[in-house]
Structure 1
């Protein structure tokens, strides 16, 4: 998402999308569709415009779910969560506009830098937890938290995107998203209860926090081979992975936080995102997590 101002590029197509937005460039493609940087002619600002797309026409149920989940996301107002501005439809395609974040996603950052320092990883995780805490207070679970959905602004701010919206494609067959018991997710980052029961709550997101922190500290996913459902299910009988087994420089306190978040049973995880944030902040200030 490292882009210049709207005057530095020509629109991708003539006219305005939905009679309001000038599409400037594609900034992402994924299982949900295409994301553009667009210029909002009405408000005079850059926005991220996400167009919902699938391999075939979306059912009315999927369309309604997309609208419902996006409306839920609009309830979250926090510095570490991308604001959702508008929901709409243009030429038969549903879309939403969100806060435009000038920076890059965590997946790109990790691909370039590999292992992050423990302090930097902890600071990023604290902001992730702050955003999740606000979402959970609004009764919204993310359900598909992964590096691609964590944006790091040029100034360092962490911004979470795509709250709950992956579920809108439950009736489609998008590459990279898998439906299990009515829950859509990415096998490599799905919590055990998503795989076995389809049950999702705030503690499911805390499992994903453990995966993110592990990956930042070690430089590779905790379950690097779990790109298929078979591989994902195999980890259900294994103890939580210890990042110190892969990287001895990981502080024991941070490794403990990772293992707690990665408890196979939700009851073994921290009670909420604020508890994880407090543990990380305590360690950052020189205390014991």
Structure 2
């Protein structure tokens, strides 16, 4: 890796520019690992000392300040939210009240959240908790700055063969961990895979 490329990578970390770590190629492995660690530390320190999101709050759910609707499906809605207790941004999935009509009950939803929270595989979103507040069951999980696989392909074109194999193996590892926990991921698609 040239000095200019290393400087550019470090400047992106300092500026807070999202980095697709799977796409950083031709980099010394030790430098890449150190840069990745530095970026993780920067993310952690960015959140320290702040108990407010600094954004307009749509509503509150338990200890979370809900900031933005990200997706809405037949059974649930996904939001970006601020967890004041953890001083961090989280993803919040709330079950729709009408989801019972679709056959998904609150108990099943919360049970899935509890099982997901036990999974520690690096390719599976870390679930922090599952509860009911204001009559709405929900679960909250780590917030990932990045793009979906669908958005990456739309922006950058099809994956190269080696990269497609790598992504496929990572997805298989994630699904294996989910299945080992007694769950079945019922909606595997490119828009549900974050990079």
Shorter-chain TM-score above 0.5: yes
Secondary structure, aligned partner of 1:58: helix
Query: 1:58-69, aligned counterparts within 5 Å?
Result: 58=100, 62-69=105-112
Taking the aligned partners of 1:32 and 1:57, their CA distance within structure 2 comes to 5
Secondary structure, aligned partner of 1:34: strand
Aligned to 1:112: 155
Cα drift, residue 135 of structure 1: 2.4
Taking the aligned partners of 1:143 and 1:78, their CA distance within structure 2 comes to 18
Aligned residues: 146
Cα drift, residue 97 of structure 1: 0.4
Query: 1:186-265, aligned counterparts within 5 Å?
Result: none
Q: Out of 51, 55, 58, which is 2:94 matched to? A: 51
The answer to whether the aligner puts 1:12 opposite 2:58 as a matched pair is: yes
Cα drift, residue 69 of structure 1: 2.0
Aligned to 2:65: 22
Cα drift, residue 63 of structure 1: 1.6
Taking the aligned partners of 2:96 and 2:85, their CA distance within structure 1 comes to 25
Cα drift, residue 133 of structure 1: 2.5
Aligned to 1:150: 193
Deviations 1:185-220, CA, capped at 9 Å, x for gaps: xxxxxxxxxxxxxxxxxxxxxxxxxxxxxxxxxxxx
Taking the aligned partners of 1:124 and 1:99, their CA distance within structure 2 comes to 20
TM-score normalised by structure 1 residue count: 0.45
Aligned to 1:246: none
CA RMSD of aligned residues (A): 2.5
C-alpha change, 1:92 and 1:120, in structure 2 (3 Å) is: same
Poorly superposed stretches of 4+, deviation over 6 Å:
none
Secondary structure, aligned partner of 1:42: coil
Cα drift, residue 131 of structure 1: 1.4
Aligned to 1:70: 113
Structure 1: runs of 5+ lacking an equivalent: 153-289
Structure 2: runs of 5+ lacking an equivalent: 1-17, 19-45
Deviations 1:16-45, CA, capped at 9 Å, x for gaps: 321x11112222222332211111111111
Cα drift, residue 7 of structure 1: 4.5
Taking the aligned partners of 2:88 and 2:137, their CA distance within structure 1 comes to 21
TM-score normalised by structure 2 residue count: 0.65
